[in-house]
Amino acid sequence: MVRAVALIFLLICPGLFAQTKTLRLAAAADLQPLLPPILTAFRQQTGIVVLPSYKSSAVLAAQIINGAPFDLFLAADMSFPQRVIDAGKGIEAHPVAYARGALVLWTRNGSGIEPLSLSALTGPEVHTIAIANAQHAPYGRAAEDALQHLGLFPATRRKLVIAENIAQTAQYADSGNAQAGFISLTSALTPRLRADGHYIAVPQAAYAPIVQGAVVVRDSANAAAAQRFLDFLQSPQIARIMAARGLEPIH
């Protein structure tokens, strides 16, 4: 009986099922704290299910260039989507800038770094500082640039604990594998890290702007849906949500 009712429903309403799409999203690790509710809102509005894969921008770019079946790439900078385009794997001639990130220094409550400051990292009480791999993660590159710009790199380079991406950097700092970490503002604003520790902003003049770029993958069978999600991401309502969670819109 149940099977018969389901068959009748299919025959009467085939359009409901034909419209369902699945979008495969390659997303930079700094997006992991804020994307889930946005993906849910997009599905509720469009019926399109987005399946994200969160990794460092370099790893995702390499996967796409090597043929990984993604539809859309949201990177943490503009250089990695440009690599995808240069390899003939992007639809656009240039990446689409969708947000601007910010770098912060975070430490657990009771870590012993009091008060928290950039200069405190050079002190003898600080032994380990988490940082994302600068070769793979734009936030890691920004952290290295900031340390160099502020003249702190010589005194801190032996203290650096290298993580694969910005999400792992936050894990190192939060778990105690490092006393402090250079992480994204998106990570620092999550409920867990807000409860576990505190942060200070790294002066934006100390590192190149973290302009985050996107590209629709050329071989995607869902290019229209990918563009639709990118437009959704840049809508005023979603841009406000992203800004509240650590990513400023591009004006």
What CATH number has the domain bearing residue 47?
3.40.190.10
Beta bridge partners of residue 92, listed in sequence order: none
Residue-wise pLDDT tens digits, 39-48:
999 999 999 9
Question: Do 80 and 198 lie in a common domain?
Answer: no
Instruction: State residue 8's pLDDT score.
Output: 40
Question: Do 111 and 202 lie in a common domain?
Answer: yes
Residue-wise pLDDT tens digits, 51-72:
999 999 999 999 999 999 999 9
Q: Are the CB atoms for 234 and 100 separated by under 8 Å?
A: no
Instruction: State residue 20's pLDDT score.
Output: 57
Distance, CA of 244 to CA of 68 (rounded, Å)? 32
The answer as to whether 5 is a domain residue is: no
Question: Do 106 and 44 lie in a common domain?
Answer: no
Joined together, the tokens standing for residue 144 give 């290295």
Longest dimension (CA), the chain: 74
Q: How far is CA 7 from the centre of its chain?
A: 42
Percentage of residues in the chain with pLDDT exceeding 70?
92
